[in-house]
Structures are given as C-alpha cells and as structure tokens.
C-alpha cells in the first residue's frame, strides 16, 4: 500500500529565519500581495508600535489623503528626505510604500516631518527583538463613559506571543541509516509554537543533530509531521510533508505542504504549500502553518482546540532517507508527540467591583484587528459609590490586566 504522505513535492520559496517570524508577526498577505506592516494614514501610523525579530524588513504603506513620510527620530533615514508641505509631490502619496531592514535589536522611533515630531503627534516605534523573544501582552488604554444604566468600556491592547512548547524528544545518534546519522536524518526534538497573536499561525519545529549550511547541499532526508486538532470529543488530522528541492537558480530551498487526512488517507499536498526555514546554524527546521489554511481545511471552530499527536503513520515528526522505501520502516527516525499544545486565542474580558475589590472578568469585549476593544457593563443595579473597572487581556497564557476608577 502506498503512503499518501510520500507524494512528489513541488518547489517553494525559502524565507530567512527573521523574515519568516516577521511575516508571522505582521498581518497575512491577501491574494498573494505583500501586506504592509504599518499603515500610514491621516495623521497616524497603525500600529503605532510594531514588534519584529532582528533582521526583519518592515513595510510602510501610505493610505492617507494627505502627504506624509517616514523619518527616523535622529534623521538617519527617511522615506522621502525632501518631503515639504510646499512640494507635496516630494512626499509619500496614496499607495506609495517604503521598506527598511532592522538588523539589530533595539527600539527605533520615527515620525512624519509634516505632522509630528520625535515621540509626539504622528509618530511611531519599531521594536526589534532577538529570535525567541516572547513580548508581553499589554493593556495600552482603558477608559469609560456612562449612558444611564450602561457603562461603556473602551480601550486598546497589544497581545503578546506564546513561547514554543517541546512536545517530544529523541536521543542523539539513533537516527536512520546508521550511526551517526547526518544531513538531517537524526531528529532530536519536536516543538510547537504560536508566536503570532494576530493571525494565529502555528509553527512546527524539528531539531536535528546535523543539517548542512542553509541553502547549501541537499539534506538526505524527507520530513513528515502528523498532528491532530482536538476539541471536545472531535479530532481532525493533518500531515506536513517536505524536503529540499532544486530551485530554478540552482539554490536548494525547502518545499513543504499541508494535507488534511482521514481514515482513508490524506489530501493532495500540492494545493497547500506552506513556508519553511531549514536553518543549518541552529540545526532546526521551522514550518509555519497559516491559521487561515487550517480554518479552510477544518470543519471545526478552532477556538479552544489542542494540537495533539496524529494517526497517520508517524505519531509526530519523522525523517527518512529520500531514496528509502514508501512505508515507515527502519529507515525512518521519529520523534513521537507526547504532549499537547493549546491553540491560543486572543481574549479580553472586563469586570467591575467595589473600589479595592476583586472583579469577576465575566463580560467579554469585542476586539478589533488593531487591538482596540469595546464592552458594555450593566451598572443599573449598583449602589452609588466608587468602583474599579478592570480589563484582562490574554493570548493563551500571556495575560495582562489594567484598572480604572469610576464613580457611579
């Protein structure tokens, strides 16, 4: 019986490690177009603060009616250095873009020279962090307005990421095809991560004992990852397949695909390519599966699901010699999944309590894509006095709270 996971794979581009994570931290492109990380509008940047990994390239796109530019606080770089209110043609016009790469960690302020000054007015910040940094969730703004017996709660939150979780290990030196196994055949660890609170993309990581330099000669291995998404008493199964393949320019690049699976096999992988990085320096393979693609392939509401081991041959991650057989056998090295990983969601709840009391966060808020939120509290039955209105914002276990005092 043939293994549906071992179908021929097509070509797919490679993203550098930092660019892959920057893509995860930014909104997903639509229709194949490159999505802007920061929107330039009248007269603000959205988001005002952007966090990316070092080495990332940030893309600004002008969508306002007025002329603008993007200039460093110290004037060391600018999208349009000659921009002037007397010559709007020298500034960013609607539809114009500007990009800049940030190779080192740090905090980099910028502003529009027409509508702001460093740190005020039309100003923004790019926060560049080291790989693996998990930035915190923050409640940036909280305010209330009252209309009769209803208290309207408004504000904004920045949702932080969730650290990756190790879900399986395997001894070094027991890989397929003898000891020591080289060129990616000896798997040592499997991890799952969800660093992106805005898109909900999942990252599947496989550590190996040895990988060739990134973009160099081919690994001798083909890689697989079986996993399931479980919610209540329902589980749906998926598979990731991939290897290095020859690109047109002669550089070898990762080619990975996602498949939906059932008891009779898996779907054709060629319709669902996903981005991957095979990093020879860290000996890690990272495959990023878009939340939008999982939503498309799954019949479940993915909110509240757990990532669990699959049932399609490998029970986790595996590698085999590309020239090996078509069925799992001694030429496969495996890392079974022994843990589960919660599929994190952005959540924000509000509550009210007497001043100094502990609120019950039992009222959900509506959260927009940019992190702004709104909720309504019924305060018609509360006695006059001082109260604390509190907000709790979470992405998975990464939570933050904030309170504001009100008098009813």
pLDDT tens digits, one per residue of 235-251: 999 999 988 876 656 66
| Cβ–Cβ under 8 Å, residues 226 and 307 | no
- For the beta carbon of residue 251, count every other beta carbon within 10 angstroms: 12
Q: Retrieve residue 10's tokens.
A: 């097509």
What are 250-253's contacts with CB under 8 Å, separation 24+? 251/215, 252/215, 252/216, 252/217, 252/218, 253/11, 253/12, 253/13, 253/14, 253/215
Q: Say whether both 382 and 357 belong to one domain.
A: yes
10 falls within a domain:
no
Given pLDDT bands bounded at 50, 70 and 90, which one contains residue 343?
confident
- Residue 353 CA to residue 379 CA, distance in Å, equals 11
Residue 138's domain is classified under what CATH number? Answer: 2.60.40.10
Q: Say whether both 150 and 227 belong to one domain.
A: no
What's the confidence (pLDDT) of residue 154?
Answer: 95
- Measured CA distances, 303 to 24, 50, 131, 345, 347 (Å): 19, 25, 27, 6, 10
The torsion region of residue 55 among left (phi > 0), alpha (psi -120 to 50) and beta comes to left
Q: Retrieve residue 324's tokens.
A: 């090996």
Half-sphere exposure of 241 (CA within 13 A, CB side): 24
Type and span of the H or E element at 16: none
205 falls within a domain:
yes
Of 341, 368, 383, the one marking the end of a domain is 341
| Cβ–Cβ under 8 Å, residues 219 and 244 | yes
Q: Say whether both 147 and 174 belong to one domain.
A: no
287 falls within a domain:
yes
Q: Say whether both 244 and 390 belong to one domain.
A: no
Evaluated on CA atoms 309, 240, 341, 362, the torsion sign reads negative
Helix (H, G, I), strand (E, B) or coil at 374: strand
Residue 62's domain is classified under what CATH number? Answer: 2.60.40.420
Nearest CA-CA partner of 82 in 67, 96, 63, 60 = 67
* Structure confidence by residue, pLDDT tens digits, 295-315: 888 888 888 889 988 876 777
Q: What's the number of domains the chain is made of?
A: 3
- For the beta carbon of residue 78, count every other beta carbon within 10 angstroms: 16
- With vertex at residue 115, the alpha carbon angle to CA 113 and CA 121, rounded to the nearest 5 degrees, is 110
Helix (H, G, I), strand (E, B) or coil at 223: strand
- 70 alpha-carbon distance from chain centroid: 25
Residue 83 has pLDDT above 50, yes or no: yes
List the domain range (segments joined by +) for residue 149: 134-160+345-408
2 falls within a domain:
no
Q: Say whether both 111 and 184 belong to one domain.
A: no
| Cβ–Cβ under 8 Å, residues 382 and 354 | no
What is the bridge-based pairing of β-strands 252-262 and 265-266? antiparallel
What's the confidence (pLDDT) of residue 131?
Answer: 64
Q: Retrieve residue 133's tokens.
A: 């940094």
Q: Say whether both 257 and 301 belong to one domain.
A: yes
- Residue 242 CA to residue 6 CA, distance in Å, equals 9
Most distant CA atoms of the chain, gap in Å: 77
Residue 7 has pLDDT above 60, yes or no: no
Given pLDDT bands bounded at 50, 70 and 90, which one contains residue 269?
confident
Buried residues in 92-108 as b, exposed as e (16+ CB within 10 A): beeebebebebeeeeeb
* Structure confidence by residue, pLDDT tens digits, 89-137: 999 999 999 999 998 888 899 999 999 999 999 999 998 877 667 778 9
What's the confidence (pLDDT) of residue 394?
Answer: 93
Of 79, 109, 129, the one marking the end of a domain is 129
């Amino acid at each position: 019986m043939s293994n549906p996971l071992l179908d021929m794979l097509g070509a797919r581009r490679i993203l550098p490690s930092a660019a892959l994570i920057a893509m995860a931290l930014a909104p997903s492109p639509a229709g194949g177009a490159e999505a802007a990380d920061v929107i330039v509008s009248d007269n603000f940047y959205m988001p005002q603060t952007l966090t990316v990994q070092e080495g990332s390239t940030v893309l600004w796109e002008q969508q306002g009616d007025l002329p603008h530019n993007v200039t460093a606080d110290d004037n060391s770089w600018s999208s349009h250095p000659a921009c002037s209110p007397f010559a709007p043609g020298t500034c960013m016009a609607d539809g114009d873009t500007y990009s800049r790469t940030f190779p080192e960690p740090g905090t980099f302020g910028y502003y529009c020279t027409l509508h702001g000054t460093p740190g005020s007015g039309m100003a923004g910040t790019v926060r560049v962090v080291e790989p693996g940094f998990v930035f915190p969730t923050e409640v940036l703004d909280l305010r209330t307005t009252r209309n009769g017996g209803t208290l309207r709660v408004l504000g904004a939150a920045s949702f932080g990421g969730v650290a990756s979780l190790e879900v399986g290990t395997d001894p070094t030196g027991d890989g397929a095809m003898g000891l020591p196994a080289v060129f990616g055949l000896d798997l040592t660890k499997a991890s799952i991560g969800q660093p992106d609170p805005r898109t909900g993309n999942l990252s599947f990581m496989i550590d190996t004992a040895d990988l060739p330099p990134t973009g160099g000669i081919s690994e001798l291995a083909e890689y697989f990852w079986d996993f399931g998404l479980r919610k209540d008493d329902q589980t749906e199964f998926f598979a990731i397949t991939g290897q290095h393949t020859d690109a047109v320019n002669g550089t070898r690049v990762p080619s990975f695909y996602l498949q939906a699976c059932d008891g009779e096999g898996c779907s054709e992988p060629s319709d669902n390519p996903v981005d991957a990085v095979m990093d020879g320096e860290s000996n890690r393979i990272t495959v990023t599966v878009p939340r939008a693609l999982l939503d498309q392939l799954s019949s479940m509401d993915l909110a509240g699901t757990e990532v669990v081991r699959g049932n399609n041959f490998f029970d986790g991650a595996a590698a085999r010699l590309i020239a090996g057989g078509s069925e799992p056998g001694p030429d496969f090295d495996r890392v079974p999944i022994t843990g589960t990983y919660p599929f994190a969601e952005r959540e924000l709840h509000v509550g009210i309590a007497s001043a100094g009391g502990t609120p019950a966060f039992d009222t959900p808020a509506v959260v927009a894509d940019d992190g702004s939120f709104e909720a309504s509290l019924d305060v018609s039955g509360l006695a006059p006095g001082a109260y604390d209105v509190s907000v709790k914002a979470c992405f998975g276990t990464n939570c933050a709270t904030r309170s504001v005092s009100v008098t009813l």
